[in-house]
């Protein structure tokens, strides 16, 4: 029997893990921690679930709920895993030592499963960096964990994952502020250069690790920052561009525009959206053949597009700002969180977009993600 779908949640009093369909019960074997739990995360492979208290970081096996490791790391505010769960990355707020030098607050730990009696002291940091910004704080890894990368002034630095003390290679791009490594085996990197001195913003795609001329690129105005979203095959990139200020005065959050470009340079396009207003969310189906967009002034419109940006289906207008596909691409969740009512609609894409259920979650601020784990889906709600 496959493991049931699992749900992790975090409240002001602690966190919990529930086995959802078909059992709908708390995970047996999991002792709920209480108190100030600042952050939590599943590993992408589904093997681990981790949370941070002010005193330490705790890792459990979510299939049984047992603690497999603890790390003596205080005041961690962000957590992340490498794709295969080999490394755990932690981020603490920037600080200075007694000499006034910046403390290396981004730390990479190799996950070591230990006994329940462990105090966490056997864990050592395999790499550390000064990382001032909480936005885009984490390292990015290739799918096989052979390499990882981070952006610094005018370049993206690459490291061999088992040797973070030495820069392995670097891609120099004047003004680069963000980047995204492609998943899959295509080994591409997309970089973003914001507008400056009257020049348009640009997204450029390079093959790795040769870093010759860009194989694909798109220039545009109205681009102070972006979200770069690859499909799971690493063949097509969505670029959600945003300005800091909406010069028309219609939106407090700035103007948003969506672009689509292929990794090999064969195709690029602006995605046409037929409702005025901001783009709230965009997400790829794991099958890499389609993506969904939530857009427009409330009630927002949600549309599924094919990989060339052609609209396939639109859902009814509703107060929604989140879209997420299930791990195998059959279901899609369209929800409203934050300052919205907290409803979640789930549709079956294999049954002509039939609505499976509407879930009320009035106190939820966000839903994190679905994760594939032993054939099941996993999600997390705050």
What CATH fold (topology level) applies to the domain 1-138?
Answer: Methylamine Dehydrogenase; Chain H (2.130.10)
Q: 303 and 292 in contact (C-beta within 8 Å)?
A: yes
Nearest to 141 by CA among 98, 186, 196, 183: 183
Q: 21 and 13 in contact (C-beta within 8 Å)?
A: no
Q: 327 and 336 in contact (C-beta within 8 Å)?
A: no
**pLDDT tens digits, one per residue of 293-336:** 999 999 999 999 999 999 999 999 999 999 999 888 888 989 88
Mean pLDDT score of the chain:
87
Coil, helix or strand at residue 351: helix
Measured distance CA(49)–CA(15) in Å, rounded: 11
Measured distance CA(367)–CA(381) in Å, rounded: 4
- Read off the pLDDT band of 226 (50, 70, 90): very high
Q: 52 and 37 in contact (C-beta within 8 Å)?
A: yes
Q: What percentage of the chain exceeds 90 in pLDDT?
A: 60
In a 13 Å sphere around the CA of 314, the CA atoms on its Cβ side amount to: 13
Q: Are strands 376-381 and 6-11 parallel, antiparallel or unpaired?
A: parallel
Which residues fall within 8 angstroms of residue 100, CB to CB, at 6 or more apart?
A: none
- Read off the pLDDT band of 134 (50, 70, 90): very high
* Average pLDDT estimate for 349-373: 70
**pLDDT tens digits, one per residue of 136-176:** 899 999 999 999 999 999 999 999 999 999 999 999 999 99
Answer yes or no: is pLDDT of 273 > 90: yes
119: left (phi over 0), alpha (psi -120 to 50) or beta: alpha
Measured distance CA(227)–CA(74) in Å, rounded: 30
Coil, helix or strand at residue 179: strand
Answer yes or no: is pLDDT of 249 > 70: no
- Residue-wise burial string across 202-218, b where 16 or more C-beta atoms lie within 10 A, e elsewhere: bbbbbbbeebeebbbbb
Which residues fall within 8 angstroms of residue 152, CB to CB, at 6 or more apart?
A: none
Q: 46 and 3 in contact (C-beta within 8 Å)?
A: no
Dihedral angle at the C-alpha atoms of 71, 79, 341, 309, nearest 10 degrees? Answer: -150
Contacts 24+ apart (CB under 8 A), 141-145: 141/82, 141/83, 141/87, 141/181, 142/83, 142/181, 142/187, 142/208, 143/83, 143/183, 143/184, 143/185, 144/83, 144/84, 145/82, 145/83, 145/84, 145/86, 145/87
């Amino acid at each position: 029997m496959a493991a049931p779908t699992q749900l992790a949640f975090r409240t002001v009093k602690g966190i919990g893990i529930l086995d959802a369909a078909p059992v709908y019960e708390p995970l047996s074997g999991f002792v709920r921690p209480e108190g100030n739990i600042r952050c939590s995360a599943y590993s992408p492979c589904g093997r681990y679930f981790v949370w941070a208290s002010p005193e330490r970081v705790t890792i459990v096996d979510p299939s049984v709920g047992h603690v497999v490791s603890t790390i003596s790391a205080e005041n961690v505010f962000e957590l992340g895993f490498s794709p295969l769960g080999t490394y755990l990355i932690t981020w603490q707020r920037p600080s200075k030592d007694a000499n006034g030098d910046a403390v290396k607050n981004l730390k990479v730990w190799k996950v070591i499963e230990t006994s329940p009696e462990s105090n966490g002291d056997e864990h050592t940091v395999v790499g550390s960096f000064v990382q001032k910004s909480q936005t885009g704080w984490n390292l990015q890894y290739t799918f096989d964990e052979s390499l990882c990368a981070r952006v610094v002034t005018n370049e993206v630095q690459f490291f061999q994952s088992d040797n973070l003390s030495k820069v392995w290679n670097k891609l120099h791009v004047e003004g680069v502020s963000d980047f995204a490594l492609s998943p899959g085996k295509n080994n591409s990197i997309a970089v973003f250069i914001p507008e400056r001195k009257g020049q348009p913003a640009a997204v450029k795609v390079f093959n790795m690790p040769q870093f010759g001329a860009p194989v694909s690129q798109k220039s545009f105005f109205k681009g102070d920052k972006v979200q770069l979203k690859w499909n799971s095959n690493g063949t097509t990139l969505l670029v959600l561009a945003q300005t800091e200020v909406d010069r028309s005065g219609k939106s407090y959050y700035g103007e948003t525009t969506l672009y689509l470009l292929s990794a090999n340079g064969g195709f690029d396009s602006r995605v046409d959206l037929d409702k005025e207003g901001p783009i709230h969310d965009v997400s790829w189906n794991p099958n890499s053949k389609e993506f969904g967009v939530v857009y427009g002034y409330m009630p927002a419109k949600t549309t599924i597009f094919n990989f060339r940006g052609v609209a396939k289906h639109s859902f009814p207008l509703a107060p929604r700002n989140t879209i997420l596909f299930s791990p195998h691409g059959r279901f899609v969740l369209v929800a409203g969180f934050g300052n919205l009512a907290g409803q979640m609609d789930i549709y079956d894409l294999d049954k002509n977009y039939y609505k499976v259920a509407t879930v009320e979650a009035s106190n939820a601020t966000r839903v994190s993600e679905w994760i594939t784990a032993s054939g099941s889906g996993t999600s997390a709600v705050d």
